Structure 1
Amino acid sequence: MPSQYRSTIYGAIAVLIWSAVLHLVRIVSEDFGPIGGAALVYTYSAIFLIAFLGLPKIKLFPKKYLFIGGVLFVAYELCLSLSLGFANSREQSAQVLIVNYLWPVFTVLGAILSKQNRAQLGVLIPGCILAFIGVCLVVSDDLTSLVTSFLLSIKSNPLSFLLAFSGAIIWAFYCNLTKSIADGKNAIAFFFFLTALTLWGKWYFLDVGFNHNFTFLSVFVLVLAGGGMALGYGLWNKAIINGNMIILAAMSYFTPVFSGIFGTLILNIKLTQSFWVGVTAVTIGSLLCWQSTRIAKHQTNPVQTVLDNTE
């Protein structure tokens, strides 16, 4: 199998793994607590990544990448894991995940504001509006009283939703900055180590302990969550080096759909009609935002259009 096809398949597998593994993180947080569970997951992930990618050679990484990229990465992972851990229920953790999946929209907006990309506003603006309406539908759980239900759901647990929303913005910054400051290097294992270290520090100073004693089932789910997260990042890294980025980008925007499906299977939750309508809106909105940059690119570079059509 040609390298590009194989690498693209790696990316598809990574998207599916990410869609499933974050629901496992929710189970781990129930077993060991929001902070302790997250610390354990990222510790196992760091171990798996080092085994998968090898020990990071810190001296080879640009200092700006290690500092800025490290701070943004750790901040995002903290927001993501703790937003799931502090959710009031499994249903709410599924809602929180969809809020986090606004990051593709924010990534496109960030690229446009930083002048890395141009966009066709006639496609970009409807895409942004549709994505945000989708989040409102996901969180509200009620199509008939959208605004009231949305505000009540946010009010019931503002911390989780704020963390998820902040995480989406932070990850957009990370995606846009990493390309320009990383110099082609990948410090993902080191960043996971920093995330685990930060969480353990928070766990120690807050003295929150663990929810209950370790059992075989809880440890098994923990290993699955940590290993799955590490495998997803490892495969995605290989995919973006040799894979077809057009296909990979399109697949990544369907993550909310896969996440909703895995949520019903792993967490055994029943998701409402409003949730699925919202997920569809978020996915289509994100795709429109991505497509707006491609349309603008092709309008200004017809040669690239021909090249893309031959892929």
Structure 2
Amino acid sequence: MPATVTRATLIGLIAILLWSCSVGLLRSVSEAFGATGGAALIYTTTALLLCLSRGLPKPGAMPAIYLWLGGALFVGYEISLALAIGLASDRSQSLELGMINYLWPCLTIVLAILFNQQRCRVWLWPGVALSLLGIVWVMKGDGSASLAMLWQNLLRNPTAYTLAFIAAITWALYNSVTRRYARGANGVTLFFILTALALWLKYALSDPPAEMSFRLVPLLEVLFVSLSTAIAYSAWNHGIQHGNLTLLASASYFTPVLSALLGSLWLGLTPTLTFWQGVAMITLGSLIGWLATRRQ
């Protein structure tokens, strides 16, 4: 592999590492600033950093359907994920919700088959089933995998679990819309600005707005997660353009494992064996799905 390709691939892998830190940091920031306030601070700072590094967005240069539909899906995803993690009953539940989010790779493949005529092999469907089983395994905890037990777990915090599932679905839809309608346009900076505005609006309309604790460590966490998000988007863009796309795509499917590991370390958690089994199922199922759609 040429040195330039190797370097670009390593830069792309940095993006995966940075994205894997997001669940733990989102939870940590939400504990200091509240679910909505913490997310608003993160996306505002990220939007500012993207404007400084990429310049101001130009909505007129984007296809209309990508701008409106893609923008709505992007904003919906970011808000749903951030609030799901922030509204978790405890830190352990925030890890569960983060794993539900990682249904999106499988859902993206299924949507590509349904709407973009993506070809696949028959073993795609066992991969999808394995990912879904992984979510069941993560959610059941140390109890049995009965429907009654799963329903009981959902009822512990229905809003947060619903938002996590919505996040997975909307990001899969965003990927499909972007692939079909973006025509090379990149609206990420604009979409981050819109996400921040929507979150501040929600915060202002809260009754009463949650109090924020402006201490040094939480503020540094906001800066770190915002900076890492801005760097990750740029690094991933460089990696997929100039690096080994096959290697990067393969590595991205191991994000749930890395996210669970880094999240548990950051939040001081020791996940159960059942949780790790579920994470492995989600990862393996997504990887099988990706391999089932690769061309010969």
Query: Could you say whether these structures have the same fold, taking a TM-score greater than 0.5 normalized by the shorter chain as the test?
Result: yes
Distance of 1:146 and 1:227 partners within structure 2 = 42
Aligned equivalent of 1:173: 173
Q: Which residue of the partner structure matches residue 95 of structure 1?
A: 96
Match of 2:152 in 1: 152
Deviation, 1:19, is 0.7
**Which residue in 1 is equivalent to 2:65?**
64
Aligned counterpart, 1:232: 232
Aligned-residue offset at 1:253: 0.6
**What SS does structure 1 have at the residue aligned with 2:142?**
coil
Deviation at 1:47, TM superposition (A): 1.0
Higher mean alpha-carbon deviation, 1-10 vs 215-224, is at 1-10
What secondary structure sits across from 2:20 in the alignment? Answer: helix
Answer yes or no: is the 8 Å Cα contact 1:49–1:234 preserved in 2: no
How far off is 1:103 after superposition? 0.2
Asked whether the equivalents of residues 23 and 94 of structure 2 are also in contact (C-alpha less than 8 Å), the reply is no
- Partner SS, residue 21 of structure 2: helix
Deviations for 1:136-182, whole angstroms, at most 9, x for unmatched residues? 11111126455443222111011111111111111111111102211
Unaligned runs of 5+ in 1: 299-311
- 8 A Cα contact 2:116 2:180, kept in partner: no
Instruction: Look up the match of 1:287.
Output: 287
CA 1:124–1:199 in 2, change beyond 3 Å: closer, same or farther? same
1:257 paired residue number: 257
User: Superposition pairs for residues 269-288 of structure 1, below 5 Å?
Assistant: 269-288=269-288
Deviates more, 1:56-65 or 1:266-275: 56-65
Quick check: 1:30 aligned with 2:31?
yes
Report the identity percentage.
Answer: 40
- Deviation, structure 1 residue 5: 2.1
Query: AA paired with 2:249?
Result: A
Q: CA RMSD in A?
A: 1.5
Contact 2:37 2:212 in 1 (8 A): no
- Aligned counterpart, 2:185: 185
* Alpha-carbon distance in structure 2 between the residues aligned to 1:188 and 1:70: 8
C-alpha distance in structure 2 between counterparts of 1:207 and 1:47, whole Å: 28
Which TM-score applies when normalising by structure 1? 0.91
C-alpha distance in 2 between matches for 1:98 and 1:212: 27
Q: TM-score w.r.t. structure 2 length?
A: 0.95
Query: Does residue 1:247 correspond to 2:247, yes or no?
Result: yes
Letter in 2 for 1:106: L
**Residue type of the alignment partner of 1:21:** S
* 2: CA distance, partners of 1:168 / 1:233: 19
The count of corresponding residues between Structure 1 and Structure 2 is: 295
8 Å Cα contact 1:65/1:178 also seen in 2: yes
2:52 paired with 1:85: no
> Which residue of structure 1 aligns with residue 48 of structure 2?
47
* Per-residue deviation, 1:30: 0.7
Structure-1 separation of matches of 2:126 and 2:247: 22
| CA distance in structure 2 between the aligned counterparts of 1:46 and 1:72, rounded to whole angstroms | 17
Query: Would the alpha carbon gap of residues 25 and 33 (structure 1) be closer, same or farther in structure 2, given more than 3 Å must change?
Result: same
Deviation at 1:116, TM superposition (A): 3.3
* Equivalent residue, structure 2, for 1:12: 13
Q: What SS does the corresponding residue of 2:18 show, helix, strand or coil?
A: helix
Aligned to 1:133: 133
Q: Distance in 1 between matches of 2:148 and 2:136?
A: 10
Partner of 1:209: 209
> Structure 1 CA distance, aligned partners of 2:228 and 2:207?
28
Q: Distance in 2 between matches of 1:219 and 1:227?
A: 12
Contact kept? 1:48, 1:227, Cα under 8 Å? yes
C-alpha distance after superposition, 1:162-204 (max 9, x if no partner): 1111111111111111022111111111110000001111111
